[in-house]
Structure 1
Amino acid sequence: MRIGFVGLGVMGRPMARNLAAAGHDLALYRAKPDVDGHACESAADAAERSEVVILMLPDTPDVDNALFGADGVAEGLKPGSLVIDMSSISPTATKTFARRIEELGCEYLDAPVSGGEVGAQQATLTIMVGGRPEVFERARPIFEVLGKNVTLIGGPGAGQTAKVANQIVVGLTIEAVAEALLFAEKAGADPAVVREALLGGFASSRILELHGERMINQAFDPGFRIRLHRKDLALAIQAANELDLALPNTAATQQLMNAAIADGDGDLDHSALHRTLRRGKS
């Protein structure tokens, strides 16, 4: 396919490389030298050259601007084009974006991912999709290049809702692992040995396995930055407010992330919450 790709950062760059390696013809906005494709001067230019446009951007305002700002994707779309937003943004805003793109005679999917930079590099991402089933089927060959677990969750915005739920589970589990390992250390046990024991029991998890090791080794190169995870938990709390729903532990974990950012750790991996707890911040 002819694919426009907008957003070539930590996640977008390896995803674009995988698409190029699979034989897709890429039009790249803000191209990087190590990604094969045509370098475009604007998001509109990338859209004009493509039948599918993928966005992989940090936050809701970034997607809004890339789609509908000056020289944005919407200005370059042709009737029948497909826009796939793989960023992690507001489910509410996503529904509005989908409606506006569909009013142009085009199609829209929200398809946020989980799996981090390693998943993007190895094409093993989990992809959570919102949109119409027939549009999902059109995009399936693209998703199968990028990930291993691809699920149509529901209508527009449902993919973003699933991603917010994912980030609640991941954030709270990281915080729980950090508390447990810090508790073990302060109580006089070797946290590395405690972790090994817990991996054989009911407390075992992928986060205990991977991020628990990061915490023990104090190895916090990102991964997934605390700053971005805080943004995702803010989306959860915003949506919960709209639903009159209490998410007390999500709010507490977001506050811990606020403390980490205030201490200058916002660009470390989210497992660095262990450092924040060690400093006694809450």
Structure 2
Amino acid sequence: MSTIGFIGLGIMGGPMARHLAAAGHDVVGFNRSPEKTRALVNAGGRAAGSVAEAVAGADVVALMLPDSPDVESVLTDGVLGTAEPGTLVIDFSTIRPDVARDLAGQAAEHGLRMLDAPVSGGQGGAENATLSIMVGGADADVDAARPLLEVVGKTVVHVGPAGAGQTVKAANQLIVAGNIALVAEALTFLQAHGADLPAAVEVLGGGLAGSAVLDQKAQKMLDGDFAPGFRVDLHHKDMQIVTSAAAQAGVVTPLGALVAQLVAATRSAGDGGLDHSALFRTIARLNGDLS
């Protein structure tokens, strides 16, 4: 069993840390809001008062943080100066691919082994340990991390060297946002023609138009249930990663650029704290159906 310093115990990190504790690992958690460590302690883990305290003596350091600057800050200010050489650092956060590559280089200079391992599956995937994990890094480090990754995820795939995990996650977020936007448009179209919406969703789901987004989000859109599983604010950040990384590579993503604008518009309308299925509200506004 490993000693794991887990930094970031929010909607995603909290359940993941608890799964690792339930699997018998010694999990020491830190969160900027200390009250979020209580659930981990109740699950058999321990609470730390600082990043350095969580990292000290850990075999593995896990990060689940909101954005690139957060990961950079935690790594440079708390991990690099505290973790012992040979420590495995697994970053579950979704950040820019170029930042992931740079941080992996910095970690290596300090004798640490770093993987970028962003996840897909949302809050439900984290709570049910069914996440899809796309991992970038060295073969040996991925092999060492795999037993831990398989505790929190159902699909664990090594997708390439440092930064590759974040590149695949960006592509994932592009597809998800585009799919949500199209489901929202399709439902608005069906409503305008007076279709039986539950029946329409059922038959669409049985054909080529079927998708996890249709299965998980269509009914929520129809019910007006936008309680956050994955917030618009975070998907906005992810779409900025997509557009930035595409520009760096000289790749044209016309649909991606449009979807990024729709996500940004949803956030600007005050819906940033809602689930990303609230793109439906933006489509409704464009059609004059929502004030």
- The residue aligned with 1:16 is 17
Of residues 16, 40, 44 in structure 2, which corresponds to 1:35? 40
Partner Cα separation in structure 2 for residue 124 and residue 247 of structure 1: 30
The letter for the 2-side match of 1:33 is R
Which ranges of structure 1 fall in alignment gaps of 5 or more residues?
none
- Asked if residue 243 in structure 1 is aligned to residue 249 in structure 2, the reply is yes
Partner Cα separation in structure 2 for residue 193 and residue 256 of structure 1: 27
Q: For residues 201-240 of structure 1, what are the structure 2 equivalents within 5 Å?
A: 201-240=207-246
DSSP 3-state at the match of 2:39: coil
DSSP 3-state at the match of 1:35: helix
**Pairs aligned (count):** 280
Cα offsets for 1:192-251 (capped at 9, x unmatched): 221112112111111111111111111110110011011111001000111111111111
Q: Calculate the aligned-residue CA RMSD, in Å.
A: 1.2
1:27 touches 1:49 (CA, 8 Å); kept in 2? no
Q: For residues 118-267 of structure 1, what are the structure 2 equivalents within 5 Å?
A: 118-267=124-273
1:28 touches 1:40 (CA, 8 Å); kept in 2? yes
CA shift at 1:281, angstroms?
7.5
TM-score (norm 1): 0.97
Partner Cα separation in structure 2 for residue 26 and residue 205 of structure 1: 36
TM-score (norm 2): 0.94
CA shift at 1:63, angstroms?
0.3
2:5 touches 2:60 (CA, 8 Å); kept in 1? yes
DSSP 3-state at the match of 2:191: helix
The letter for the 2-side match of 1:237 is T
DSSP 3-state at the match of 1:230: helix
CA shift at 1:18, angstroms?
0.4
Which ranges of structure 2 fall in alignment gaps of 5 or more residues?
none
- Asked if residue 61 in structure 1 is aligned to residue 62 in structure 2, the reply is no
2:40 touches 2:46 (CA, 8 Å); kept in 1? no
* Percent pairwise identity: 47
DSSP 3-state at the match of 1:219: coil
